[in-house]
Amino acid sequence: MIALVSFVSGLVALVVGAELLVRGASKLALSFGISPLVVGLTVVAFGTGSPELAVAIQAAMANQANITVGNVVGSNIFNVLFILGLSALITPLIINRQLIRQEVPIMVGTSLLVAALAWDGTMSRLDGLILVCLLAVYTGFLIVQSRRQEAGSDAAEPATEDSGPGWDSKLPVQIALIVIGLVMLVFGATWLVDAAITFARLFGVSEMVIGLTIVAAGTSLPEVATSIMAAVRGQRDIAVGNVVGSNIFNLLGVLGVSAAVVPGGLSIAPAMMAFDIPVMIAVAIACLPIFFTGNLIARWEGALFLAMYVGYTVYLVMAAQQHDALSTYGFVLGTIVLPLCALTVAVIAWREWHAGRQTR
């Protein structure tokens, strides 16, 4: 009963906190002349990523590296497949060109870098410091880039609905909304994850599977609530930028800080290197052709993302239970379903690219 109350309370806190955070962040972007995309990539993404950071550090200090690494890897898979998929089902998401040309390649490159650093089975303290330094450089670059773009654009911009006067047009109110929203997100995620872990342990699931599924999905619920709320409010740059920025923050910030604070670094399970990290890289790469098709994520592409996440989760659960049908399911998933999905996306991406060249 206590776990159930904690679960419901956490869910309510996440929804309310996400609404406050999106409203405050979007207003703050206009106040400081920073584009909503950059706000989604930094303030919102880092803020909604704070539950992952808190859980990862706590697990790392408790020598539960499988939960720490599983949380990061699972969250990145969840963010792309589930959150973008669900947001696109609500409303097709128009993709900013900066995301296609800059942020998604950075996300792919960061995923490959983490895999290279973890190749020896350990994420050392030095590896963690490298990732944290790269996060600082990336954040500074985004802010400088946004300010330069704003200075180079026309000063006379048409007024938008969010730029008008209102109770949330004052800077102190905007900051208060962001702070209160972040606090509610952190507490809501903590309550919900604690309850979810309690439920999961009743089924005797391993720490790695808990990290990849329950903890990853639970700590990503702020991103779920924030992206969906932003999509409903028409703030699609924040909705998509939040996911991409959160993935970059998870790899550079969450994993980097966790590895840096533990004297011996983080040990990477062989099963993680053999399956889950390659899946994370594949999911990041899959964004490139899907984002490229018409510069938007259509509803059918969102449904494809959701179906892929369901397939991945079912595989994890079957593997944890050593189900008799695991080998058959894995064979069908790896040799038929995934190649078919990849071929479909590749063909559509090629057609869009070819059609774009013909119209020039």
Q: What is the pLDDT of residues 247-261, one digit of tens each?
A: 998 999 999 999 998
Distance of CA 16 to the CA centre of its chain: 19
359 in any annotated domain: no
Number of independent structural domains in the chain: 1
CATH number at 320 reads 1.20.1420.30
271 occurs within a structural domain? yes
C-alpha distance from residue 213 to each of 145, 297, 303 (Å): 36, 24, 20
Asked, for residue 222, whether it belongs to a domain, the answer is yes
Q: Are 35 and 149 in contact (CB under 8 A)?
A: yes
Residue for token pair 């998604």: 104
- Of 215-224, 234-243, 280-289, 349-358, the range with the lowest mean pLDDT is 349-358
pLDDT of 109 over the 90 cut: yes
Its domain, for residue 110, covers 36-150+202-354
Query: Exposed/middle/buried for 2, CB within 10 Å: 0-12, 13-18, 19+?
Result: exposed
Q: How would you label 253-284 residue by residue, b for 16+ Cβ within 10 Å and e otherwise?
A: bbbbbbbbebeebbbbbeebbebbbebbbebb
In a domain, 189, yes or no: no
- For residues 56-76, give the mean pLDDT: 83
pLDDT at 119: 92
Residue 128 domain flag: yes
Residue 112 lies in a domain: yes
Is the pLDDT at 117 greater than 90? The verdict is yes
pTM listed for this prediction = 0.79
In a domain, 166, yes or no: no
> For residues 231 and 93, is the Cβ–Cβ distance under 8 A?
yes
Query: pLDDT tens digit string along 263-309?
Result: 888 889 888 888 889 989 988 888 877 766 656 777 888 888 898 89
Question: Is 179 a domain residue?
Answer: no
Return d(Cα 71, Cα 60) in angstroms, integer: 11
Strands 266-267 and 296-297: unpaired
